[in-house]
Amino acid sequence: MASRMTKSRSTKKLSQVIVEQFIDKIQSGALAVGEKIPTELELIEQYGVSRSVIREAITELRSLGYVETRHGIGTFVKEQPVEQSFLLSNASLETIHDIVSLLELRISLESESVFLACERRKQIHIDKMKIALDEFESHISSDANDGTVKADYDFHIAIAEASSNQYFVDFLKYLGEKIIPRARVKSIERSPENREEYLKSVHHDHVNIYNAIIDKDGLLARQMMRAHLSKSIKKFKQ
């Protein structure tokens, strides 16, 4: 066990390694439905990691529906449905390849969403987009980019809402701030100059999309959304 953990540390988060090992055991039947998994202290000793790593792994397993915690008793393996629902976990977005794949999904989804938004948007949607744009711009030169991540997310949600198709909204909200790649990849923070230049480029793209929506130019908005997300794919591939 220890050797496998050591080998995986260089490429994956420790909590992800633990999650994947537990999933393998559950799917293979090595851990049966209803079986109690080891305690936090036992897992800390078994894997040689910190308490926070174990808690993160257990939280992820719960969110994926593999285990349930019964307060005061312990954590147990849950029965799995015959057909697993679509799930996108934090553990599944650990590599650049995964993030690029998610961006490709967003291109197909949001290119159509923004096209419909141009036809169906109301003033309340325009106002929400403008608030998100202003919030994003106010955080461009700050030391931390957390503010731009939320504002970026809010802008794309406002576009989905303007499409008047609740499925676009629900799906993006299900994905959450995972849809913003820099929320997962912190490399742009290493250079403040590169970070600010990158964020200014993102903001410029958003403003162009916003203006196309105001003008009700669906074809242009679709083209700009595709170009905006494709630019992110190119950047993260590099």
In the chain, where are the structural domains located?
A: 6-77, 95-237
Residue of 53, 73, 72, 55 whose CA lies nearest to 63: 55
Q: Which residues are within 8 A (CB) of 103 and not within 5 positions of it... i.e. 6 or more apart?
A: 181, 229, 232, 233, 236
52-97 pLDDT per residue, tens: 999 999 998 988 888 998 888 999 999 876 555 555 555 555 677 8
Measured CA to CA, the distance from residue 231 to residue 228 in angstroms comes to 5
129-149 pLDDT per residue, tens: 999 999 999 999 876 556 898
Does this model's pTM top 0.75? no
Measured CA to CA, the distance from residue 118 to residue 168 in angstroms comes to 15
Provide the CATH number for the domain formed by 6-77 in this structure: 1.10.10.10
Going along the chain, which residue ranges are E strands? 67-70, 74-77
Q: What angle do CA 179, 182, 184 make, to 5 degrees?
A: 75
Measured CA to CA, the distance from residue 146 to residue 153 in angstroms comes to 11
Task: Say whether 95-237 and 6-77 share the same fold.
Answer: no
Measured CA to CA, the distance from residue 225 to residue 117 in angstroms comes to 12
**Right CATH for 95-237 from 1.10.1740.10, 1.20.120.530, 3.40.50.1100, 3.30.450.20:** 1.20.120.530
